[in-house]
Structure 1
Amino acid sequence: MTTSSASIRASSDRIPTLAALSTKKFYESQKIATDSFRVKHLDLCSTFTKAILERKTHLFSENLSDGNYCIFTTGSDGRLEKLSDRESPVEVIVYSSDSSSEEVILKLQEFVRDRKDFFQDIESKNKNSKLCETSRKIIPTRGLHSRFLAGDKKEYENYLKELISQIKNMPIKEYNLFKKDFVRFSIRSLNKCNSNKLIDALDLTKGLIFFDGKNFRKKATKYSHLRSIQYKLDKAICDHIREKLSEKESFEFLTKMPANINDLIDYLSSNKLLDKISVAEKEILKKAYNLSLMYLHIAQNLYVAMNKSIEIKLEGSQLKELQDNFNTTYKILQKIQ
């Protein structure tokens, strides 16, 4: 894996920041750094994200009064798979059964204003909200990977129960929109990457990974690979809730569900949700996800350190490994109903 040494020098010649020096050091011994990073990667993600969220929780507790509300997060924080709170800021969602959280939301908006480690938009939900809808899109899965931060834990339980109810009772037409807009779309994107028809963020033929935090289309392996696995598993979870479980069973199922994708694959397997794929294929899927997550994190941190869009070039065995992972992932995901 190579990158432009001139780019690294440009970011460190004038003011040799710790981030720039670390980036330079990384590329001086890429294989050693990458190999050690692979071994500890998931543990590092979990430790980093938990530490970040603990600090956020402490800040919320210090600055907000008690009330009939809960604050939680989702996405990479919910899955405990983050390694940059600047390029991947924390999403904040507030839920209150009786819509009594207006004062809390105003305080939160003031609190996160101009802070790069938080999304600036505070998402507000109540019992009458469409909990499976975000930005006018049907996406029930965000709540599945939510993580409690502060407030009343009973309200968070109320949120999960209402989410389950809405997933179970969602009209088939709306549920089909989720499958079309997210599940099938992400699988098509993966296939386009494999056939080199989608090269905005990743060019598997030339071995190039692109990342630009200001450009939605250039987010390394995030949308081209990671999303396809996430949404396919999420569909399996939603199908299970809609077709097999009672609301009480669904609540128990969700509250026991592990955060990271590797453990989630094992959990879904133990509950017979992934019987169409073999044990070996499940392990391949885990390794493929881990590899893409690693490259996303490398790209994110390079972007933060260099403060410019970046390009990573993979060569030889590293490129073949990523190509094989993308191809194999597509084949395995086709087997998951």
Structure 2
Amino acid sequence: MAGAALAAPDPQYVQLRVERTGPHELKLSAGDETAVIPFRVLVEREPAGEFLVYGGLLAAAVLLVGGLLTGATARPGKAMALAAGAAAGVTVAAMVIVFEPLLPAPPPDGAVPTPPPSAAQGRPYAQARVETVPARPEAGEEFTLRVDLIDGSTGRPVDDLTAHHEALAHVVVTSRDGRYFRHVHPLRTRSGRLEVRLSAGRPGRYRAHAELEREESGGQLLTADFTVGGNANTSEKAGAGREAGVTATPRLQPAAPVAGRPATVELNTPAGVRPWLGMTGHLLTREQDGDFFGHVHEMGAPGARVRFTFSFPEPGRYLAWIQYATADRIVTVPFTVNVTAPGTR
């Protein structure tokens, strides 16, 4: 089954017809890129109480008619027994009507099977294999960053990611010096596989951080490095410099944050800021010489500024980026933070 929708500023819809409940896959193609999106078709089950209600009323009616006929033939004992059965049927139906709303609804047809009690504490973290296609991309050329997710307990592809902040996964790719920065959202191209296309203008070592969540489990951060070869492409922007028209500078309180203690980061924003990925603003941080990566949000409504509270775990130099959205673009403001050790003056 296929449908088509044209790209437009407002959402476009295509109506599809499915014939059965349960898991399905929706394949979306735009140009030479294809995403495969899993979804489930659910149908609410009729509550079991309806069968008892109608069954009880039917049995009561049959028994009542039988009691009347039996009484008419001068057999009072049997008539009383049938009348008692009719009363019992009405009682059962009435009790079901009263108590059924208090009972949990049955799962709909096509729902995900309920995990056994042994899995009540959640699924294990996914194991990831990260690679680039080609294996060693050249500077200035497009390449694919591929993430294959495996369940370590079963060896099978992980195909139960749940959308968080409006995406199945958030991938942040940075160069060692932070001049290159990309915050992207890969496509699911098959079971257990996520892919996103990138290009980097300079050779060197790059680090990818992927944030994801599994059903019945918590958030997980995956980290992997890859290398870009070739010669520097001076015609391509690094991607993390201050954007044209952005003059505001982040303000920190205290000005020299202390490791392990909350710090506040504020940035004035222009009019017309809109939520992006479900949030007004995003603060992403990376320890320049270490593995730490942090990602927090402005939880309030859009206004004249974005404000974040964050605790840097260790002293040292951190690379940081604030992102927010306007009507026509995503604005990225890079800066650095020098974090001091407790007791340092």
For Structure 1 versus Structure 2, the TM-score category normalised by the shorter chain is: under 0.3
The structure number with the bigger radius of gyration is 2
| Structure with greater contact order relative to length (CA < 8 Å, sep ≥ 6) | 1
Query: Which protein is richer in helix relative to its size?
Result: 1
TM, length-normalised to structure 1: 0.26
TM, length-normalised to structure 2: 0.26
Query: Which protein is richer in strand relative to its size?
Result: 2
